[in-house]
């Protein structure tokens, strides 16, 4: 299956947003203003966590027995715990931008190299979330990526 729409969308987002993010001042990236009480640093950190976790899921789903149980960091407030434990609010802004960029560049590479014979393998996302196929997980990634870029855009009045 061709996931170029997904990977190209992520790469375009990185290319467009990296210079925008680099120009943001300290006050703008540190204010807590979105509906989840996250500042831009925390949103970008969450996006890095998402890229990292999805990379791991994609890899596991290509060699583990399906359905595969992998911790869902995004339920029960765990994604907020990840943000707090890693203290993204105090992360060097330029380092965080680079982390965000390179984790997504690598994720795009991993997606481009997925074994299509494994696309129906499923991840057990949790009792309330059900199972998610590798194909569906990849297809949903760009929506999630754009959702958070839209949040950043709303917070910066760009």
CA 127 to chain centre: 22
pLDDT per position as a tens digit, 94-108:
999 999 999 999 999
Identify the CATH homologous superfamily for domain 4-156: dinb family like domain (1.20.120.450)
What does the block give as tokens for 61?
């789903």
Size of the chain, expressed as the number of residues it contains? 158
What does the block give as tokens for 1?
């299956």
The strands making up 130-133's β-sheet, listed across from edge to edge, are: 68-69, 122-126, 130-133
- Distance CA(90)–CA(157), nearest Å, equals 23
Place of tokens 């390179």: 102
| Neighbouring residues of 116: CB distance < 8 A, sequence distance ≥ 6 | 1
Domain regions of the chain by residue span: 4-156
What does the block give as tokens for 11?
């790469």
pTM score:
0.94
- Distance CA(143)–CA(54), nearest Å, equals 14
pLDDT per position as a tens digit, 28-86:
999 867 888 899 999 999 999 999 999 999 999 999 999 998 888 877 778 889 999 99
């Amino acid at each position: 299956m061709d996931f170029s729409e997904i990977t190209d969308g992520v790469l375009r987002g990185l290319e467009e947003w990296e210079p925008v993010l680099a120009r943001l001042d300290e006050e703008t990236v540190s204010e807590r203003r979105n509906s989840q009480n996250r500042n831009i640093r925390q949103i970008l950190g969450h996006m890095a966590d998402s890229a990292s976790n999805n990379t791991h899921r994609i890899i596991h789903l290509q060699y583990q027995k399906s359905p595969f149980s992998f911790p869902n960091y995004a339920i029960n407030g765990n994604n907020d715990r990840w943000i707090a434990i890693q203290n993204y609010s105090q992360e060097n802004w330029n380092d965080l931008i680079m982390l965000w960029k390179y984790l997504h560049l690598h994720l795009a590479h991993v997606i481009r190299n997925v074994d299509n014979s494994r696309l129906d393998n499923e991840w057990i996302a949790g009792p309330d979330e059900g199972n998610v196929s590798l194909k569906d997980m990849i297809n949903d990634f760009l929506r999630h990526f754009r959702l958070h870029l839209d949040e950043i855009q709303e917070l910066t009045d760009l």
